[in-house]
Amino acid sequence: MASSLRIALAPGDGIGPEIMAATLDLFAAAGVTRLIEFVPVAMGKSEFERGNTRGMSEDAIRTVEDCGVLFKGPMETIKGAGGKSINVTARKLWNAFANLRTFRTLPGVETVYSRAGVNLNLTIVRENIEDTYGGVEHRLSNDMIQCKRLISAPGSDEVCRFAFQTARRLGVTRLHCGHKANIMKMTDGLFLDRFRAAARDFPEIEAGDVIVDALCMNLVMKPQQYQMLVLPNLQGDIVSDLAAGLVGGLGFAPSANIGKHISIFEAVHGTAPDIAGKGLANPAALILSGLMMLRHLGLTSHAATIENALLAALEQGVHTGDFGGGGVSSGKPALSTKDFVKGIVERLGSKPATVPPVPVPEASTHALLNRPARPAGQTVIRTFSNVVRHVVGCDIYLDTPLSPVSVAEEMQRIAGDTPFKLTLISNRGTQVWPTGSVYTECVDYYRVRFELRDTLRPGDFGQSPCVALLDKIAEKFEVCSYELLRTFDGVKGYSMAQGQ
């Protein structure tokens, strides 16, 4: 017999320990714990309380990195202690760049949609690192705060390719990219471009795209039209939770965070402190997340056996207090966490009758995790390496309550003997100079754009005259922000203002 594989285990806070214990009981009954050794790690509330702003001990970090897989229950992030969400920290720390979630109509879980006879089987891949989740925010004037939304080509490549690979593995035939490239033309335009570039390597999968607001409407009206989606981080966050609602809520929505080296399998619902310790919580999402983990480790026969038993139990009205009560569970008592799992254990080997059972492959004899060697240091991932870049100007951002006209006068004076001319002033993205509307309301934060005079050509200068101009303007104004304007292979690397 092969030796067992070590997996880091963090039961979590609130209802976490009890749903984790029930899940492990089920996994033990299915023979999983002969092949996997779960190694407890210290993460969550207790670590925050010890003053660890990351919410995890150094030892926990080491163990997770040794194991390559973390199975975790819900955790509490202590507010106000300066700590960031432990879930976000874990994803970023270990570069688990893809959030993979599946949303399926389950028998016995009544929803508006199940009652209407609408069956869902939707997989969502959400980019997990970038977008506004970098948390890079600055107060740029008394009245204006900025958050940077960052989208990179290699980050988009990684998550889009992962989505196509997953589609191929799952036998999904159609993958849609959700985005807002009609408004965020450059950032989401890049995400969409990289999606299309990835699509070329997966010709058997139909690749489509859909604007995120239309997507949300479509998901509500006719969710069965989508098989699989890939989205940038924030949009993916919103759409995933919407999809969870379609199948009965976070209690039935498993989640995996996949990285090259380390992956995290977790229930994304809360810690439900109101019912914690009472043995009443619903472990379904954690069990389903665990099944994703078993499949990640090659234990597909164990996963299929457990899943069929779970489906059989649900369709026979086995339920905890948070769902059921109508339909097949009508008249059947709400079970405790332990009895709910007992209902599944009793059905191990059975198959569901009202929904298609999951095919059970030949029994796996050992768990397997293929992962690259631990890197010696951070890797720099790249998509575009050979690009000809030319400086063509700069955007300078002023913290001032002056009127647009006054700002324009000052700027033209200051730029007088530089290689640049003032071409634009905008406020909150709307042009206010050289033309603009008297109805535009301004705040105390202006963008001032300088571009090369007509006699000069891109590449005539590097960035130094831009910095010199910034220097001159800073003598008179508070410069809260600055961006270099360049062309990349002849294409402008910056957007126009609204109304320009």
Interaction between residue 29 and a second copy (CB under 8 A) = no
471-500: contacts with a second copy (CB under 8 A) = 471, 474-475, 478-486, 488, 493-499
Interaction between residue 1 and a second copy (CB under 8 A) = no
Interaction between residue 218 and a second copy (CB under 8 A) = yes
Residue 319 Cβ vs a second copy, minimum distance, rounded to whole Å: 17
Q: Which of 21, 78, 153, 276 binds a second copy (CB under 8 A)?
A: 153
Binding mask 38-77 for a second copy (x = CB under 8 A): ----------------x----------x------------
Interaction between residue 384 and a second copy (CB under 8 A) = yes
- When the beta carbons of 164 and 445 are compared against a second copy, the nearer one is 445
Q: Which stretch binds a second copy (CB under 8 A): 23-31, 81-89, 286-294, 347-355?
A: 81-89
412-441: contacts with a second copy (CB under 8 A) = 426-430, 432, 436-441
> Please, are residues 261 and 288 in contact by the beta-carbon 8 Å criterion?
no
Residue 267 Cβ vs a second copy, minimum distance, rounded to whole Å: 15
DSSP for 109-132, please give it: ---HHHHTT---EEEEEEE-S-BG
- Any bridge partners for residue 231, and if so which? 126
Residue 366 Cβ vs a second copy, minimum distance, rounded to whole Å: 26
CA distance 38 to 47: 20
Helix (H) or strand (E) holding 425: strand 420-427
First vs last C-alpha separation in the chain: 70
What Rg, from alpha-carbon coordinates, does the chain have? 27
Residue 191 Cβ vs a second copy, minimum distance, rounded to whole Å: 9
Interaction between residue 238 and a second copy (CB under 8 A) = yes
Residue 213 Cβ vs a second copy, minimum distance, rounded to whole Å: 4
- When the beta carbons of 261 and 332 are compared against a second copy, the nearer one is 261
Which tokens in the block code for residue 138?
Answer: 């600055």
CA distance 363 to 12: 31
- When the beta carbons of 87 and 316 are compared against a second copy, the nearer one is 87
- What residue has token string 């294409």? 491
Interaction between residue 345 and a second copy (CB under 8 A) = no
How is residue 334 annotated by DSSP? P
115-134: contacts with a second copy (CB under 8 A) = 115-116, 118, 129-130, 132-134
CA distance 434 to 411: 12
Q: Which of 21, 197, 242, 360 binds a second copy (CB under 8 A)?
A: 242
Number of shown-chain residues binding a second copy (CB under 8 A): 139
Q: Which stretch binds a second copy (CB under 8 A): 15-23, 240-248, 339-347, 412-420?
A: 240-248
Strands 206-211 and 174-179, sheet pairing: parallel
Interaction between residue 93 and a second copy (CB under 8 A) = yes
> Please, are residues 105 and 113 in contact by the beta-carbon 8 Å criterion?
yes
Q: Which of 21, 42, 206, 249 binds a second copy (CB under 8 A)?
A: 249
> Please, are residues 54 and 86 in contact by the beta-carbon 8 Å criterion?
yes
B/e letters for 98-113, b = 16+ CB within 10 Å, e = fewer, are bbbbbbbbbbbbbbeb
> Please, are residues 105 and 247 in contact by the beta-carbon 8 Å criterion?
yes
Helix (H) or strand (E) holding 266: strand 263-267
